[in-house]
Amino acid sequence: MLRLVLTLVSSLQTGARIKQSVEQSVRRAVIVVAAVVVLLFAIGFGLVAGYQALLLYGFTPLGAAGLIAGILAAFGVVLLLIGLHKPRPKQPDFVNAPAEGLAMVDQSVNKAMKQVGPLTLLVVAFAAGLLASRRR
């Protein structure tokens, strides 16, 4: 009976956690969408302000629109190139390789010593050394 009650309470707590997690995700999504909309409006007003400023400096309407379109196109191409750039694979670090290899050997020897004991390991190493020296 107690197990059933504990299982029910645990499942209710899990459901509450899932509900809370979903609510937090929805709140974050709404905030991100609102920020994107405000950012798009800011970009639109900035483009209009830039167009009007170019008109004040003596550009024709077609020239001002072309200049803004060219700048946006160049910015888009740069972003596209950055997005399509593949990162180079990380080159192996040959400077630290010997130290890493020795650390792995040390860990292996420690693990072997814990499993079979130091005296047994010493006897096995001695026997392996004898067998290796006889084969030459």
Split at pLDDT 50, 70, 90, the class of 129 is confident
Any idea which residue has 């400096």 for tokens? Answer: 57
The residue among 38, 41, 47, 39 whose CA lies nearest residue 72 is: 47
Any idea which residue has 């010493």 for tokens? Answer: 122
Specify the DSSP element, H or E, that contains 57. Answer: none
CA distance 31 to 91: 40
The residue among 67, 70, 72, 63 whose CA lies nearest residue 44 is: 72
pLDDT at site 7: 65
Per mean pLDDT, which range of 7-11, 77-81, 125-129 is the poorest? 7-11
Contact 50, 66 (CB under 8 A): no
Contact 59, 67 (CB under 8 A): yes
In terms of pLDDT, which residue wins out, 109 or 47? 47
Any idea which residue has 């209710």 for tokens? Answer: 12
113 token code pair: 């010593």
pLDDT tens digits along 69-100? 998 899 888 988 888 877 777 776 666 667 77
